[in-house]
Amino acid sequence: VQLQASGGGLVQAGGSLRLSCATSARSFSSYDIGWFRQAPGKERRFVTALDRSSSGNTIYAGSVEGRFTISGDNDRNTVFLQMNDLRPEDSAVYSCAAIAATKWRWVKFSEKYDYWGLGTLVTVSS
């Protein structure tokens, strides 16, 4: 499974960005997708995850709930992260990762993921 995150950039506080995570078509349906972020000098933190099964369950970190929305486009094998009301503390490198669907209960734990893509930088100015 190959993943590629894109859509990062510089935005003012209160603004919006939409990140994309493009995945390879093969076996995509067998994996759930999570987003993590890592700010300079800090640990990588869980942001959100999408259950790609028919349930479509989602889970969010408390710090982004109500502002960020994860969604998937099956036809394009792409997962999106819509980020609204951005704050300077949201600045980080955002990475998407794939985790086998059988491990949904572990989606908040980066070490449980099977594949990672290169990140995309989000900078929010105050």
State mean pLDDT over 92-102.
95
Amino acid 26: pLDDT: 65
Tell me the backbone φ, ψ of residue 3, rounded to 5 degrees: -130, 145
State mean pLDDT over 21-41.
87
Question: What count of other Cβ atoms lies within 10 Å of the Cβ of residue 103?
Answer: 14
Q: How confident is the model at residue 32 (pLDDT cuts 50, 70, 90)?
A: very high
* Residues β-bridged to residue 10: 123
**Pairwise CA distance, residues 54 & 33, whole Å:** 14
DSSP for the chain, written as a single string? --EEEE--EEEETT--EEEEEEE-STTGGGEEEEEEEE-TTS--EEEEEE--STT--EEE-TTTBTTEEEEEETTTTEEEEEE-S--GGG-EEEEEEEEEGGGGGGTT-GGG-SEE-B-EEEEEE-
44 has a pLDDT exceeding 90: yes
53 has a pLDDT exceeding 70: yes
Question: What count of other Cβ atoms lies within 10 Å of the Cβ of residue 52?
Answer: 21
